[in-house]
Amino acid sequence: MEKVQSVRGTYDLFGDAKRKMKKVIATGESVVEKYGFEEIETPIFEFTEVFARNLGDTSDIVTKEMYCFEDKGGESLTLRPEGTAGVVRAFVANGMQQNLPVKFYYHGPMFRYERPQKGRQRQFTQFGVELLGVETPQADIEVIAMAYEFLQKLGLSGQITVEINSLGDAESRDTYREKLVAYLTQHIDELSEDSKNRLTRNPLRILDSKEDCDKTVIANAPRYADSLNENSRQFFAAVLKGLDLLDIKYRVNDRLVRGLDYYSHTVFELTTDKLGAQGTVLAGGRYNGLVAQMGGGDVAGIGWACGVERLSMLLQEDTALPRPIAVIPVGEDTQETALQIAHQLRLAGFSVEQSYSGNMKKRLMKANKVNAAQAVILGSDEVATNTATLKDLDSGEQKTVALADLIKELQA
C-alpha cells in the first residue's frame, strides 16, 4: 500500500528538533516574563476579515498566502498567518482598554501558503509579544531590548544584526508616498507586474519586493528619512538614543518597510547571515492605528514575532535530556521490587528508565542506549538482603548499597 504522506511544507517535530524548539520558547518565556508580559492564547482560526482587513489587501500574506476555508455554517474562516491581528482582536473583544498598558506574549503554529524551502514552511511556529497602550519611545526601546536579550540568552547575539527604520507618523508617510510614487512612475516599465499593480494601491509595499527588477529600481528611490516630519524624527532619535544607552548595536536601514499595512514609526528586523535567503529570525514594529481599525479606539501598540524553527536551526549545542538512572531487575522474583524502587526514585525527583525484558547484557546495553549514568541492579540475593548493586556506567565501578540508603547514595 502507498505510504500516507504529510502535507507539503509541514513537518513532524520530535527528537532534537523538538527539544530545540522547546528551548527557544522556554527561553523566550523566561525573558519576557521579567518585563511583565503574560501569556495569551487566541484561536488558531479567526474570521477571514480579521486578517484580510487588517494586514492590508495588497500584502503578500493576504493576496497569496492565507489558508481560507468555508466552514459548514458558511462562514469564511482563515488559519492564522500571524499573531498580532488575533491578539488585537482579543484585546478589543474583551474590552481590555480599561487597564493599560497590556503586555502579552504568545506562541503557536501559523499557516502560510508559501513555496517551501529551508526555513520557510507552510505550518511554522512563532513566539511573539504585543505591548498595547504606550505611545512613548520607551516602549520601542524596551521591546527591542527584550528581543535582543532573548537572542543573547540563546547564545546567538554574536551572529545577529539589528536593522531598524522609521516609517514615521501618518503625515510623514503621506509625504513619502507622494515622492515615491512620482519616482516609481518614471520607472514603471522596469517594475515587475506585481509592483505595477501596487503602484496605485500600495506603493510602499514595492520597497519590500524580492524581485530583482524591482530591487534595481528601489536602489535609487527617495530615502524615507528625508520625508519624516519633526515629530517623527524626534521619536526615532529617542528610540536610537535608548538603544545606544543600553549598548544595543543596530544598523539603520532606510529600505526596511515590513510587509504589513499596520506599521508606523519604528520597524525592525533581527537578521543572521547563517540561514541564506531566510535570514530574518525576528521582526516587528509599532502599529498605532491597528486597534482603532478594529474598533477598539485610539490605543498605541508595538510588538514582534520570531520564527521558532529558524532560531532552533541556529542552536548548536546538544539539547539532550538529563541522564536517567536505569533500574534493572535480574530474574522474575525481583520485578516487583524493581517497580517499587523505580517509583520511589521518580518521586524523589530522578529520571528513571526501567528495563522491561532481556538478559543482563541486553538490559545493560539498553541502559547505555538511553544514556543512563548509573544502573541500580537488583538480583535475587540482593533483594533478599534489602540491598542493590549500584553501577557507575561511565567508569564501570560498582558497589553494594542498602535499599534504604539508595536515594542518599544517588544524590551524592
Nearest residue to ligand ATP, by Cβ distance, number only: 307
173 versus 205: smaller Cβ distance to ligand ATP: 205
CA distance 123 to 66: 11
112 versus 363: smaller Cβ distance to ligand ATP: 112
104 versus 124: smaller Cβ distance to ligand ATP: 124
119 versus 222: smaller Cβ distance to ligand ATP: 119
Tell me which residue of 133, 25, 45, 121 sits closest to 86, measured CA to CA.
45
Residue that is written with C-alpha cell 535567503 in the block: 277
Q: Is 121 in the site for ligand ATP (CB under 6 A)?
A: yes
Residue 61 DSSP symbol: I
Identify the burial level of 27 via C-beta atoms within 10 angstroms of its C-beta, where 0-12 means exposed, 13-18 middle and 19 or more buried. Answer: buried
58 versus 354: smaller Cβ distance to ligand ATP: 58
CB of 122 vs ligand ATP, minimal distance in Å: 7
CB of 249 vs ligand ATP, minimal distance in Å: 19
Q: Is 130 in the site for ligand ATP (CB under 6 A)?
A: no
Q: Is 111 in the site for ligand ATP (CB under 6 A)?
A: no
84, 126, 334, 354: which one contacts ligand ATP (CB under 6 A)? 126
CB of 80 vs ligand ATP, minimal distance in Å: 11
Q: Is 398 in the site for ligand ATP (CB under 6 A)?
A: no
141, 283, 388, 390: which one contacts ligand ATP (CB under 6 A)? 283
Strands (E), 308-378: 325-329, 352-354, 374-378
CA distance 355 to 139: 54
Give long-range contacts, CB 8 A cutoff, 24+ apart: 198-204: 198/58, 201/57, 201/58, 202/56, 202/58, 202/261, 203/177, 204/167, 204/173, 204/176, 204/177, 204/180, 204/257
CA distance 132 to 90: 12
Residue 251 DSSP symbol: E
Q: Which amino acid is located at 16 in the chain?
A: D
144 versus 378: smaller Cβ distance to ligand ATP: 144
Longest dimension (CA), the chain: 94
CA distance 80 to 265: 25
124, 150, 176, 268: which one contacts ligand ATP (CB under 6 A)? 124
Q: Is 103 in the site for ligand ATP (CB under 6 A)?
A: no
157, 278, 319, 335: which one contacts ligand ATP (CB under 6 A)? 278
62 versus 239: smaller Cβ distance to ligand ATP: 62
What residues make contact with ligand ATP under the rule CB under 6 A?
Answer: 82, 112, 114, 119-121, 124, 126, 259, 278, 280-283, 305-307, 309-310
